[in-house]
Amino acid sequence: MQINLYGKRMDDVDLVVVKDGDSLAINGELFDFTPLSEGDTLPFGSVASEWFPDTATVERLNGHLVISLNLPNPWNYSPEQAFPDPLLNVPDGRIEFPQPLPDGDGNYPGLPPIPETTATGVIHWDRCITKAMKDAAADAEHLVLMKTELAARNAQSIAQIARIQDRIDTIGYGIDAGEATEEDVAEQAALVASLAAWKGYKFALGKVTKQPGWHASPVWPVAPAIPVIVADPEARPA
């Protein structure tokens, strides 16, 4: 278990915590986190207790519970209480917290007695976000990203096909009119090959979603080179 501590100014308040496995008895109130499975998270506000920070979660990561607690800081709080380090690999038994500075007489306060556990703390398990729920949400988000990527690639291929086809047709008009030069004819021949490549690319994109589990790790076809068309208005500087 790992316990993250948050120093909070609180006078005349004791915090006595006893750990037993995945359970914490806090000032006599028992909170059992045993049902929390690997990768699950209890979002903030799921534990009805002032000792659990409003903005902290409870989760199990790599087999360890990660819990956050408010650490009361009295008037003579120490730097260790104000900025406490996380407690790692917390053993069973009474948990030792940072202690305050000595009082005006140079005396250190003694540890308060361990209260009897008489109540069961409220944990809203219906708010638990399970690992399965997280995985499903991540998978759905990744699917949206891959669909967006596929749409962008399709849009690029459509734009290039239209751009190349337009130039091929334009040169064809010059050939039909007997005004095209040898350079125009050579350009058209090169563009015909480029057009075929882009059409093949567009066709291959249509098969991406047929790959097993395609959105998890899609194999994208390689896009052809974008031809330089000097007569293309979009290719000319303003």
Q: Which of 32, 26, 3 minimizes the C-alpha distance to 13?
A: 26
Segment 38-67 shows an average pLDDT of: 95
Q: CB within 8 A of 50, min separation 6: which ones?
A: 70
Asked which of 142-151, 172-181, 224-233 is least confident by mean pLDDT, the reply is 224-233
Furthest-apart CA pair in the chain: how many Å?
109
DSSP state of 233: G
β-strand pairing of 29-32 with 119-120: parallel
Q: Are 139 and 153 contacting, i.e. CB atoms less than 8 angstroms apart?
A: no
In a 13 Å sphere around the CA of 51, the CA atoms on its Cβ side amount to 20
The pLDDT-based confidence of 111 (bands split at 50, 70, 90) is confident
Residue 112 CB neighbour total at 10 angstroms: 10
> Over pLDDT 70: what percentage of the chain?
97
Q: pTM of the entire structure?
A: 0.73
Predicted pLDDT at 14? 92
Segment 90-96 shows an average pLDDT of: 96
Q: CB within 8 A of 235, min separation 6: which ones?
A: 228, 229
The pLDDT-based confidence of 143 (bands split at 50, 70, 90) is very high
The Cα–Cα gap between 220 and 84 comes to 50
The Cα–Cα gap between 23 and 126 comes to 19
Predicted pLDDT at 161? 97
Q: Which of 48, 55, 56, 68 minimizes the C-alpha distance to 2?
A: 68
* pLDDT tens per residue, range 55-78: 899 999 999 999 999 999 999 999
Q: Are 124 and 25 contacting, i.e. CB atoms less than 8 angstroms apart?
A: no
- Which of 5-44 are b and which e, b meaning 16 or more Cβ less than 10 Å from the residue's Cβ? bbbbeeeeeebbbbbeebbbbbbebebebeebeebbbbee
Token pair listed for 10:
């609180």
The Cα–Cα gap between 172 and 40 comes to 65
Segment 187-207 shows an average pLDDT of: 97
The Cα–Cα gap between 194 and 226 comes to 8
229 has a pLDDT exceeding 60: yes
Segment 166-195 shows an average pLDDT of: 96
In a 13 Å sphere around the CA of 138, the CA atoms on its Cβ side amount to 8
- Average pLDDT value for the chain: 94
226 has a pLDDT exceeding 70: yes
Predicted pLDDT at 110? 78
Q: Are 100 and 81 contacting, i.e. CB atoms less than 8 angstroms apart?
A: yes
Token pair listed for 45:
């506000």
Asked which of 16-20, 36-40, 107-111 is least confident by mean pLDDT, the reply is 107-111
Segment 213-222 shows an average pLDDT of: 94
